[in-house]
Amino acid sequence: MEFDGQPFMGWQRQPHGATVQSALEDACAAILKEPTVVHAAGRTDAGVHGLGMVAHIDVDRVMTPFALMEAINAGLHDVPVAVIACAEVAADFHARFSCLARHYEYRIVNRRAPLTLGAGREWRIRRQLDSDAMHTAAQILVGHHDFTTFRSVHCQSANPVKTLDRLDVARVGERIVVQASARSFLHHQVRSMVGCLSLVGLGRWSAEDLRAALEASDRTRLGLNAPPDGLYFVRADYPNGLKTEHPGQ
């Protein structure tokens, strides 16, 4: 599915605000005539967007995937969430626990002019960024590390040690795109890494400053946590070569 995260308090259902999960569960319950739990590949923060989020529901009612997709989208007509693909999977499939890799993209617009169409969907940085320096420094974070420095104080993960498979930074015109891949991420990890890389791009941090922050394993050594605006859940990978992504990606 794809969704615009701006009006939501994140993925996970909350008792005091709109979330992507609650919108989907309400739409599914109306169709299936029973309470429905939607399990997702990941839990996004408030304001974070989805291009290829994967979720599953257990359905006893006989419906074709196409009919289910159409019905869910009809129920989502007043919120910026859309199911873009739907398929029947094996009974042991789980959107979260079967996932082998998760892929995120962070979008920065590097210009002085304010954002118009991209407002709330990209992070604008006015001063010129050195994207090559950002990419070089990013490779320090790739691999198996203790990412405590880049972890939210509210993170519920039992272990701050993760393996980051990819962290690439590339400029395309006025935009800088950061792509991150791993089996799993800590809460705020991608945003925190991007925030620190932006300091490198601005010349305020060196690559060695980034390395020192990583090795400190101390959240107080974090330089900057990037806003949620530019972050997108792009794709999830599953066994047997199944990869899910937005058709336009």
Determine the Cα–Cα distance for residues 51 and 44; give it in Å rounded to an integer: 12
Burial class (CB in 10 A: 0-12, 13-18, 19+), 24: buried
- SS3 percent helix, strand, coil of the chain, rounded to 5, is 25, 25, 50
Q: Which of 45, 130, 146, 165 is catalytic?
A: 45
Cβ–Cβ < 8 Å for 228, 195: no
Instruction: Fill in the DSSP letter of residue 122.
Output: B
- 3-state SS track over 205-231: CCHHHHHHHHHHCCHHHCCCCCCHHHE
Cα dihedral 121, 245, 13, 106 sign: negative
Active site residue 45: yes
What amino acid positions are annotated as catalytic residues? 45
